[in-house]
Structure 1
Amino acid sequence: MREATGPTVGIVANPLAGKDVRRLTSGVTPVSDAVKIGAIRRAVVGAFEGGAERVLISGDRSRLGDRALAGLDPSGPVEVLEPHGWHTGRDSQLAAARFCELGVGAVIALGGDGTQRDVAKGWRNVPLVPLAVGTNNVFPSQLEATVAGFAAGAVASGLGVAAEVTAQAKIIDITLESSGGADVALVDVCLVRGSFVGARAVWESASVSEIVAAIAEPPSVGLSAIAAAVAPVGRHEAGGVHVRLGCASKNAQRSRRIRAAVMPGSYSDVDIEHCERLRFEQPVTLWGPGVLTLDGERETVLGRGERADVAVNSNGPQVIDVGAVVAAAQRRRYPFVPVVADG
């Protein structure tokens, strides 16, 4: 595929988003392929309306992009990338990396916190419209795909000046001492009890021992909601929060019990032993044994004595403010002198 030669918007659509075990166990309706296909179609229409001259869509085994284009008559060329065939979050990661290589001007990511994280792994400072289509949606926003597409198209084309309508999100960097590997998260990193990844999604708060969160906002659902109950930190505030969970019966003088919405349709009792606010770059060491979860999904097993060093940093994705973009584009397209009422 050739490098982008004009304003180009990329669309990442994760076919697995909104379908994990947390929805099954909580009785929340899974997000169907039809919902995602409709969102892709509307985002394509909006992208061209916003000034894009080309749209690229991530490929996947479910063929969401191809199905979205069936019967659609877009205003410009639309291409679907060749699928990588992983049928995991790695597909979203590789698609984002490819968009970066091709000079894409803005990316729309359809999915939950995990999908947004995968995109950031592939392109750390991606100019991003994160569109909530997942189970846990702390990082992305509930937006109409038509307007999300318009905002991405306007940023890609320069109709909305990127520096004026984007804000750099926080990101959590993880360094694994044993392997020398590294990873990232956008919302939270947790250490949970266990020795295997399994179904990946975490829905039992009793298994969680520590949380490091970059975003811990009171209206959130997920593990970051635990931190939000005792030490809230907004997405635009500096730093993060570290929470250690305990057992009230063993540490009655030190623990406090709260209730938090750890997944849709479910509240749990949680005992908090310790919490502290974190500065940017302030390291927290999480010790095994246990499993690291990143943005709500199990990722890495830590053996006994193995450690992960975690820090909240300020240099994450460039998140596009859709409302600001639309307003800026309208001012440029439709300048007028306000009419002053008589009297």
Structure 2
Amino acid sequence: MTKAAGPTVGIVANPLAGKDLRRLTSGATPVSDAVKIGAIRRAVVGAFEGGAERVLVSGDRARLGDRALAGFDPSGPVEVLEPHGWHTGRDSQLAAARFCELGVGAVIALGGDGTQRDVAKGWRNVPLVPLAVGTNNVFPSQLDATVAGFAAGAVVSGLGVAAEVAAQAKIIDITMESSGGSDIALVDVCLVRGAFVGARAVWESASVSEIVAAIAEPASVGLSAIAAAVAPVGRHEAGGVHVRLGCASRSVQHGRHIRAAVMPGSYSDISIEHCEKLRFDQLVTLRGPGVLTLDGEREIVLARGERAEVTVNSNGPQVIDVGAAVAAAQRRRYPVGPAVASG
């Protein structure tokens, strides 16, 4: 596939989003492939309506893109990338990197916090429309894919100028002191007790010992909701927050006790021993043993004595404000003329 010719929108659809173990242990409803296929179709319609001349869709083993195009007659060319075959978040990461290489102007990502993180791993400053289709949906927005597609199409066509309708999101950088390896998160990094990854999703708040959050908003559900209860930090607010948890069974004199919605349909008792607002680039060291979760999923095992250095930074994805992009496009398409006298 050659570099994109003309305004092009990319769509990443994660077939695993909204299907992890938390769907079995909480009140959340699994998100079916049919829901994602419908969202892809609506996003394609919106993208062409917004001015895109071409749409690329990520490939995967579930063939979401191919199934979305079956019996569907879009108003412009739509291509599905060759799947990488991992059937993990790496597929979304590689698709985003490929979109960058091909000159895609905006990406719509269908998934939860984990999917958005995978996209940002593949393309750190991606011009992104994040759509909530996962279990934890702190970073992405609950919007219909039709208008999300329109907003992306408007940005790539110039009807909605990216500099006017997009804002750079925060990002959390993680560096392993011993190996020098690195990773990222968009919402939170947590140190949980244990020594294995296993089922990647975290659903027991009692296992969490520390949280570093870039976004800790009171209306969120997930581990960042713990931080939001004691030191809220908005997604557009500078810096982040560091929270150290205690044992919920200890006396209240040893800490501050709260309840937070750590999963859909579930509140948990939490003991807070320490919380601190963080500046951009302020270093937090998380020490093993334990497992680091990135945006709610276990990723990195820390042996005893191993340390990870964590900072909240300002140079994450360029998140497109859908409402602002649609409004800008409509103003350019339908400029307001002189008032028409009535009567």
TM-score, length-normalised on structure 2?
A: 0.98
Question: Cα offset for 1:45?
Answer: 0.6
Q: Is the 8 A contact 1:169 1:236 kept in 2?
A: yes
Q: Is the 8 A contact 1:248 1:255 kept in 2?
A: no
**1:200 and 2:200 matched:** yes
**1-structure distance, mates of 2:340, 2:7:** 38
Listed one character per residue, the Cα deviations across residues 45-67 of structure 1 (whole Å, up to 9, x for unaligned) are: 10001010100000000000000
Q: Is the 8 A contact 1:52 1:153 kept in 2?
A: yes
**2-structure distance, mates of 1:198, 1:248:** 25
Q: Is the 8 A contact 1:248 1:256 kept in 2?
A: no
- Equivalent residue of 2:253, what SS? coil
> What residue number does 1:15 align with?
15
**1-structure distance, mates of 2:257, 2:341:** 58
> Pairwise mapping of residues 66-81 of structure 1 onto structure 2 (< 5 A)?
66-81=66-81
Q: Is the 8 A contact 1:66 1:80 kept in 2?
A: yes
> What residue number does 1:320 align with?
320
Question: Cα offset for 1:29?
Answer: 1.6
**1-structure distance, mates of 2:320, 2:340:** 33
**1:190 and 2:190 matched:** yes
> What residue number does 2:125 align with?
125
> What residue number does 1:286 align with?
286
Question: Cα offset for 1:252?
Answer: 4.2
Question: Cα offset for 1:157?
Answer: 1.0
> What residue number does 2:134 align with?
134
> What residue number does 2:239 align with?
239
**2-structure distance, mates of 1:76, 1:172:** 38
| Letter of the 2:190 counterpart | C
**1-structure distance, mates of 2:88, 2:81:** 16
In structure 2, stretches of 5+ residues that fail to align are none
> What residue number does 1:28 align with?
28
- Equivalent residue of 1:173, what SS? strand
**1:172 and 2:172 matched:** yes
**1:217 and 2:185 matched:** no
| 1:338–1:243 Cα change, 3 Å | farther
Range with bigger deviation, 331-340 or 173-182? 331-340
> Pairwise mapping of residues 261-272 of structure 1 onto structure 2 (< 5 A)?
261-272=261-272
> What residue number does 1:155 align with?
155
Question: How many pairs were matched up?
Answer: 343
Aligned residues: percent identity? Answer: 89
Q: Is the 8 A contact 2:167 2:318 kept in 1?
A: yes
Question: Cα offset for 1:248?
Answer: 5.4
**1:99 and 2:75 matched:** no
CA RMSD of aligned residues (A): 1.2
- Equivalent residue of 2:30, what SS? coil
**2-structure distance, mates of 1:66, 1:267:** 39
- Equivalent residue of 1:253, what SS? helix
Q: Is the 8 A contact 2:244 2:274 kept in 1?
A: yes
| 1:101–1:275 Cα change, 3 Å | same
**2-structure distance, mates of 1:245, 1:292:** 15
| Letter of the 2:99 counterpart | F
| 1:29–1:238 Cα change, 3 Å | same
| Letter of the 2:188 counterpart | D
Q: Is the 8 A contact 2:27 2:266 kept in 1?
A: no
Question: Cα offset for 1:336?
Answer: 2.0
**1-structure distance, mates of 2:181, 2:194:** 21
- Equivalent residue of 1:308, what SS? strand
TM-score, length-normalised on structure 1?
A: 0.98
| Letter of the 2:51 counterpart | G
In structure 1, stretches of 5+ residues that fail to align are none
> What residue number does 2:333 align with?
333
Question: Cα offset for 1:187?
Answer: 0.2
Q: Is the 8 A contact 1:112 1:136 kept in 2?
A: yes
**2-structure distance, mates of 1:27, 1:335:** 46
**1-structure distance, mates of 2:27, 2:78:** 37
Question: Cα offset for 1:253?
Answer: 3.1
Question: Cα offset for 1:75?
Answer: 1.2
Listed one character per residue, the Cα deviations across residues 85-104 of structure 1 (whole Å, up to 9, x for unaligned) are: 00000000000000000000
Question: Cα offset for 1:254?
Answer: 3.8
Question: Cα offset for 1:338?
Answer: 5.2
Question: Cα offset for 1:342?
Answer: 7.2
**2-structure distance, mates of 1:295, 1:27:** 19
Q: Is the 8 A contact 1:169 1:314 kept in 2?
A: yes
